[in-house]
Amino acid sequence: MPLTCLGIEGTAHSFGAGVVSDQGKVLSNVWDMLSPQEGGIHPREASRHHSDKGPDIIAKALTEAGIGPHDITLIAFSRGPGLGPCLRATATMARSLALKLEVPLVGVNHCVAHIEIGCLESGFKDPVTVYVSGGNTQVIAFAGNRFRTFGETLDIAIGNMLDVFGRTMGMRFPAGPAIEQEAMKGHRYYSLPYSVKGMDVSYSGMLTAARRLQTEHIPLPDLCFSIQETAFGMLAEVAERAIAHTKKGEVLLTGGVARNRRLGEILAGVAARHNARFHTVTPPLAGDQGAMIAWTGILQYTAGDRLSVAESYVLPKWRTDEQDITWRNLS
Amino acid sequence: MRLEKWAMGAESTIFKTEQWGYPIVLKWRPQKPYLLKDIDELLKKTRTNRECKMLTHARALGVSTPTVHWTDLENYTIAMDFIEGRQLKQLASTLPESRLREICFEFGQSVARMHRGNVVHGDPTTSNVLIDTKSRLWMVDFGLAEWNATTEMKGVDLHLIRRALETTHWDQQEVMLTATLEGYVNLLGSEAEPALSRMDVIRERGRYH
Ligand SMILES: Nc1ncnc2c1ncn2[C@@H]1O[C@H](COP(=O)(O)OP(=O)(O)O)[C@@H](O)[C@H]1O
Ligand SMILES: [Mg+2]
């Protein structure tokens, strides 16, 4: 029987629902993001957003896919990692739908889903993945039946660093796009702490220094330019170290921050130096959305994975490398 | 002079050549056109400089490192002894467990020698540990090494070792990690404790919250 999977994503401030077929066709992908006027994300507020808007977003995803509820044969939801209240709100919707429609349920790892949707889009088999978002900064590659984190941030995520800096400057959340716009007008480089430890990075030092520079009346475009060049240069270096170490021939850039064009340009250069193919996940599939959950759900289900409603508790600290990737047969 | 491209590192290209009839390698940090020029130049310069000093300094601390013959800071190139052998990364899965334990024990001791001298390696993966044809262990790639290392920096070094073993040697990680940390503790005794406990703290820090 052909599968039509509804994927529900709600690990942080975004809620998304997507419908994907087992042929890998994205039939719809609808999402909405909580954008607080000030401050960062409040887990409670975000979970309320999900509970309030979720049903309409799911309904819209079905309409856009041109299907009715009874055409769904599988429900997948983001089981972790993420903010507890958000995960629980999302899981509750997934469970009740699965029970009502009498279809099986699978729980998907959010980080793994970012990789799998990128592989679907690019046709890559075994990439080094650079996954960059508001909550994550990881360099991941497949080895021994798991997606393993070769490098990550030692403190804050790159997207978080950009957002916090942006907030200081009065930019709207998320601040990445505004910083990118400003950076395009900048050209003078102000040195910021560049912190790489092996395949890990650290962004808290450069955030502190950038906020200090900001008080010294340095033009905003130059400051944004300097932040990007430093932060992305660090990522390029750890990605390069992972490629040289694993000798893999594909590089995938994914996550919300993958929408930044300068970052894509830098990593394309890294890949070229190592004769590796390169792909940046397209904007609609780069951020947090339901299609990636749906597609990964199909992969898991096809490999025999099932999750009973009784055991479908969420996993807020679920590590990328804690799941056996049963659907991949590379060694 | 024959110049043979020997290895492609993350930061460098390694050429093999000869000098006075002996094999040597040239470690060259090429320009990276995808980086901002200011950053690229600064990194190449500080790392070349640091690596050549640290190769010698680490040896003074009792760690086997290739002898540096000359450094050309203008061209970001270091000439050093060629170590005939293989990376521990490639070798690990081919060795009997007892031999692997011995090598990892020695690796742990080498890291401990640096830490005792308040130096961290900065990129202690098994790509940067070479085992020569006479079974001797060598450490290379000191571009990220640092002096005046604090407990935090040593903890990061150990964290990087653990993660390198988990990711690259997932099927042998227990044996390798245990032996490496045994070697580390064997050399440092109770002095090893602060860095070891920091390693665990660091692991949790970057995780999603
Ligand atoms: N002195 C040496 N003798 C033999 N091989 C070496 C030597 N130095 C480096 N290599 C080889 O080249 C690879 C890359 O060198 P490395 O110093 O680690 O550069 P990078 O900083 O670019 O990783 C090493 O992993 C090792 O296999
Ligand atoms: Mg190296």
What one-character-per-residue DSSP string does chain B give? Answer: ---EEEEE-SS-EEEEEEETTEEEEEEE----TTS-HHHHHHHHHHHHHHHHHHHHHHHHTT---PPEEEEETTTTEEEEE---EEEHHHHGGGS-HHHHHHHHHHHHHHHHHHHHTT-B-S---GGGEEEETTS-EEE---TT-BSS--HHHHHHHHHHHHHHHHHHSTTTHHHHHHHHHHHHHHHHGGGGHHHHHHHHHHHHHTS--
Nearest CA to ligand 1 atom 11: B7
- CATH H-level superfamily of A4-113+286-322: ATPase, nucleotide binding domain (3.30.420.40)
Residue A331 pLDDT > 60: no
- On chain A, the residues whose CB falls within 8 A of the CB of B154 are none
The CATH topology of domain B4-81 is Phosphorylase Kinase; domain 1 (3.30.200)
Q: Pick the residue of B8, B34, B87, B203 with the most A CBs within 10 A to test the interface with A by mutation.
A: B34
The atom of ligand 1 lying closest to the CA of B127 is 25
pTM score: 0.95
CATH architecture of the domain covering B85-207: Orthogonal Bundle (1.10)
Predicted complex: ipTM over 0.90: yes
Question: What is the average pLDDT score of chain B?
Answer: 96
Confidence of residue A125 (pLDDT cuts 50, 70, 90): very high
Residue A98 to residue A254: CA distance in whole angstroms: 29
pLDDT per residue as tens digits for the range B51-99: 999 999 999 999 999 999 999 999 999 999 999 999 999 999 999 999 9
Query: Smallest Cα–Cα separation from A23: which of A283, A302, A282?
Result: A302
- Give me the CATH code for the A115-285 domain, please: 3.30.420.40
Pick from A280, A257, A258, A259: nearest CA to A268: A280
Q: How close is the Cα of B142 to the center of ligand 2, in Å? A: 8
Q: How many Å apart are CA B36 and CA B156, to the nearest integer?
A: 27
DSSP string covering A132-159, please? E-SS-EEEEEEETTEEEEEEEBSSS-HH
Segments making up each domain of chain B, as ranges: 4-81, 85-207
Mutation target for A interface from B123, B146, B208, B209: give the one with most A CBs within 10 A.
B208
Rounded distance from Cα B26 to ligand 2 centre (Å): 14
Q: Does B35 touch chain A (CB under 8 A)?
A: yes
How many degrees, rounded to 5, is the angle at CA B60 between CA B55 and CA B64? 60
pLDDT at B93: 95
**pLDDT tens, A285-296?**
999 999 999 999
Distance from CA of B209 to the nearest CA of A (A): 7
